[in-house]
Structure 1
Amino acid sequence: MKAWQIERLGGATAFNEVPMPEPRAGSVVVRIEASALMSYLKDYVDGKLPVYDPPEGWFTPGGNAVGTVHAVGRDVWHIHPGQRVFVSSHVVADECVSEPAQILQGVTAMGAPGKPLRQDWRDGTLAQYVLVPKLSVTPLDGLDGFDAAQLAVLTRFAVPYGGLLRGRLTAGETLIVTGATGAYGGAAILLALALGAGCVVAAGRNQRKLESITRAGGSRVVPVILSGDIDNDAERLRAAAGGGADIAFDMVGGARDPNATLAALRALRREGRLVLMGSMSVPLPISYMDVMMNSLEVIGQFMYPHDVYRKLVTLVRSGQLDIRAIRPRTFLLDDIAKAMDAAAEASALECAVVTPT
């Protein structure tokens, strides 16, 4: 089969002919139809993100994807050839231990415990076929009206769903989303509305992009343009939230200052929750006394539970979540360079998707 591979981060890349993967116990071979690109894939491939720990030697990168089951191994009971599935790159060892190893397949290991797991599931989805653990696939039954490229945008919703679950969002609550104009921030707004949020305050610095996500979300979305002044922004966020929000959901990627996050934290009601799912290159200076006196929670969340795509499929099938609000921009695998550029530049309502043929 054909696969796009990299020698190492910052090293050579090539389209290689590689052996077809063979199923083994507890695994599924999926024929890829559409793979959603990470917004940072170009920087990752160029070696600009040294925090990542990829497989050793030549490997196929890639993230989440849609495809059709080609073959299954022993001990796979409910997935069958010919079934359309979603493939998640987030792999957690299925052993009953307190801290199971985890990886992003075809991307990185998470710490030393993940290294052996990473080498066992080393290749990602930027190929014609991929071998994945059975826990990584979710049937897409009942979604025949969507093509593969549109279904691939489900990946945008999975990460914020993990944070909204961890933050215990309930119907009628008010949510502030910082980084609202980013890939995951925009999806977080649409998903929160589907889950019943009473009001979503969309916070960002780009007025045009905020207007776009506000139109997509409708009347329950209130935009706030951030100035960078913590006190002023906190006051405006609190006012937009009707006196304070129940949850602040931080999805700012690569933040160079903590101002937006701190403004959102200060705009919380008593007993509010701050969920951190973005990234920041500087420390986050939180006031001990403010957190204690206001009974606030600060929650870090990485990725999502393994059944999150099943939950998303249920929301889409019921009509509560319209994934068509995010438009896929489709590229052939041969155009991977253009696809990576598009992924880096994509708005909150766009997603770069690669198809093998």
Structure 2
Amino acid sequence: MRAVAFNEFGAAPAVAELPVPEPGPGEVLVQVRASSVNGFDLGVIGGYLKGVYEYEFPVVVGKDFAGVVSAVGDGVTSVAVGDDVFGVVMRPTLGQGGFAEYVAVGAEYGIARIPEGLDHARAGALGLAGTAALDAVDAVAPSAGETVLISGATGGVGAYAIQLAAARGATVIATARPGAEAEFVTGLGAAHAVDHTELVTRVRAIAPDGVHAALHFAGDGATVAGLLAQGGRFASTLHHTPDGLAEHDVKATAVMADPNPATLLRLATDVAAGRLRVPLAQSYRLAQATQAIADFQAGTLGKLGVTI
């Protein structure tokens, strides 16, 4: 099969021919139709996760996947051959990934059926970023009328979080530079777009007493947390812990995406029903995946997809 992989630390990923994996007990083999680039992939490629995960070379890039079940391992009853599925590759080691024609994944976690009305391309850009966004929004639990600051709003996680927070009736303040970025975040439901270079001044002008909740996906965590009102809620996918939690009665949550089947299905159902938009900015063929990774590193609005 074709896959985008690298053979050692420091090596650049490239398209290679690798054996088709076989599903073990409790696993399914998915013929991948689509995936997308995530920040996690950059950590894998750069070797930054050495010591956190075991690397089994050659390591195939890609955390997301969407496709069709082509085989099932022993004991699998939750899905069947021919089912359309999507999710997040949650293997205990780094080796297999979604930038490949096939991937073997667990049948009980990190996978869900694709509902009618959702195509593979959008499903392949939903799993990891959508789950991280939903978990972060759930952690701060905004109510209607509350103000939520989203730092790192133009990326995939931020783009989903804007929509999820706005759907709960929150007033969303999203970091975005003037122009295309500001149009992007307001088009997703943000009430205000603020330049990150003027973050404190701009946010204080909107919420003089501070925001009720803040989501930290990028930028300086201390600055973002400093804009919370007394008793505010803070969630960070970068695992920043604000100072003075007790003094300011701030609740902080470190978010690690939990792509359980219920969460994945909840997201997919919202997309299929038109309640949630997949911010797919551009799609690349598998042979162009290295360019997708480079473009992601350079900065983009929303998600970059890879079609297989």
Q: TM-score range by the shorter chain?
A: 0.7 to 0.9
CA distance in 2, matches of 1:225, 1:86: 35
CA distance in 1, matches of 2:144, 2:270: 14
> Relative to 1, partners in 2 of residues 1:270 and 1:46: Cα closer, same or farther, differing over 3 Å?
closer
Deviation at 1:332, TM superposition (A): 1.8
CA distance in 1, matches of 2:213, 2:207: 10
The DSSP-based 3-state class of the residue aligned with 1:55 is: coil
CA distance in 2, matches of 1:278, 1:264: 12
Instruction: Please give the residue correspondences for 1:203-222 in structure 2 after superposition, counting only pairs within 5 Å.
Output: 203-204=175-176, 206-218=177-189, 220-222=190-192
Q: Is the 8 A contact 1:39 1:346 kept in 2?
A: no
Deviation at 1:39, TM superposition (A): 4.4
Aligned residue in 1 for 2:114:
140
> Relative to 1, partners in 2 of residues 1:262 and 1:14: Cα closer, same or farther, differing over 3 Å?
closer
Normalised to the residue count of structure 1, the TM-score between the two structures is 0.76
> Relative to 1, partners in 2 of residues 1:263 and 1:17: Cα closer, same or farther, differing over 3 Å?
closer
Instruction: Please give the residue correspondences for 1:119-198 in structure 2 after superposition, counting only pairs within 5 Å.
Output: 122-134=95-107, 135-143=109-117, 146-155=118-127, 156-194=129-167, 196-198=168-170
The one-character-per-residue Cα deviations of 1:281-331 (angstroms, maximum 9, x if unpaired) are xxx772x3xx323311122111225132111012223332122xx134222
Match of 1:311 among 253, 260, 266: 266
Aligned residue in 2 for 1:275:
235
Q: Is the 8 A contact 1:153 1:328 kept in 2?
A: no
Match of 2:256 among 299, 302, 308: 302
CA distance in 1, matches of 2:69, 2:12: 31
The one-character-per-residue Cα deviations of 1:135-158 (angstroms, maximum 9, x if unpaired) are 221111222xx4322232213322
CA distance in 2, matches of 1:169, 1:332: 38
CA distance in 1, matches of 2:25, 2:147: 45
Q: Is the 8 A contact 2:14 2:290 kept in 1?
A: no
Aligned residue in 1 for 2:74:
74
Q: Is the 8 A contact 2:159 2:185 kept in 1?
A: no
Q: Is the 8 A contact 1:30 1:70 kept in 2?
A: yes
Normalised to the residue count of structure 2, the TM-score between the two structures is 0.86
Stretches of structure 1 that go unaligned for 5 or more consecutive residues are 92-104, 106-116
The DSSP-based 3-state class of the residue aligned with 1:207 is: coil
The DSSP-based 3-state class of the residue aligned with 1:321 is: coil
Q: C-alpha root-mean-square deviation of aligned residues, in Å?
A: 2.7
Aligned residue in 2 for 1:118:
93
Q: Percent identity?
A: 24
Matched, 1:247 2:213: yes
CA distance in 2, matches of 1:49, 1:305: 19
Aligned residues: 305
